[in-house]
Chains A and B, each alone.
Chain A
Amino acid sequence: MVFDQALFYAFAAFTVSGSLLVIVQKNPVYSIVSLILAFFGLAGLYVLLQAPFVAVVQIIVYAGAILVLFLFVVMLLNVPREDAAEWDRAHPLYRPGPMRVGALLAVLLIGELAWALFKTPGLTGATGAGTTGISDVGQLGRVLFTDYMFAFEVTSILIIVAMLGAVLLARRPGE
């Protein structure tokens, strides 16, 4: 059981550092590669949560499809590096007054979240201790195609609309 915790902390550190790298890199290509690494850490966490199918889908769909799409666009556009310097100085939100209000609100939010977490009962035991782990893809499919049938069908419409919209938006005008 100690082994589980060690794995959790390893994957969590991997995911958090990958996500942090995403937002500190100046070059979008490095950001995307860091995000792919973070998603591999998340896939490991899903395996720890007895959800291997979600882990595999995470790698195939997210790391394999969505982020490769991002990479393609970045390389297609030959994206310039960020030029934040002169804009940041001039923005009204960077004045001391608004910054103090924002910092206060952030601290307040963290305090509220910590309070809610510590006041909630039943969080200290092992996750899902009283239940049997569900790693059965058959059961997953059965629930998806019975209880969530309507949502599933609506999702297909969403994907068609998104695809048409993307093609329409990315087309050069006049073609």
Chain B
Amino acid sequence: MVPLSHFLVLSGVLFTIGTAGVFLRRNVITLLLSIEIMLNAVNLAFVAFGRQFGTVDGQIITFFVMTVAAAEAAVGLALVIGLFRHRESLNPEAFTSLKW
């Protein structure tokens, strides 16, 4: 069997990849994808802990995280469409109307 620490390390690695994506990429859609990677890393940790302690709570929290991710993707993509319509660009640096 696989120890819990392996799952936690994998979860950490995935979360790090997601964070690096948010910092390194200059495309709003890829930023949203990186956020999805981070949410999935957390889901993996939840399910692994649920298995470790023999409860279903980890899996149920995972469902809620998935729902929030779906809502976030819907609203985020609608925002992306609106921004693209205004600026003809997906580079976050192009959206500077609120910058002083």
Contacts and interface: CB of A to CB of B under 8 A. Distances in A.
Interface of A: 1, 4-5, 8, 12, 15-16, 19-20, 22-23, 28, 31-32, 35, 38-39, 42, 45-46, 48-51, 53-54, 57-58, 61-62, 65-67, 69-70, 73-74, 76-77, 79-80, 82-84, 87-88, 113, 117, 122-134, 139-140, 143-144, 147-148, 151, 155, 158-159, 161-163, 165-170, 172
Chain B interface residue bracket vs A: 35 or more
Nearest to B8: A117
Interface of B: 1-10, 12-14, 17-18, 20-21, 24-27, 29-30, 32-34, 36-37, 40, 43-44, 47-48, 50-57, 59-60, 62-64, 66-75, 77-82, 84-85, 89-91, 93
A127 B81 contact: no
28 contacts: A15-B14, A22-B30, A35-B36, A35-B37, A39-B40, A62-B40, A66-B69, A67-B36, A70-B77, A73-B29, A73-B81, A77-B81, A77-B90, A79-B29, A87-B93, A117-B8, A122-B4, A123-B8, A130-B54, A134-B50, A134-B55, A134-B59, A143-B57, A151-B64, A155-B67, A159-B71, A162-B70, A162-B72
Main secondary structure of the interface of A (DSSP, over half): helix
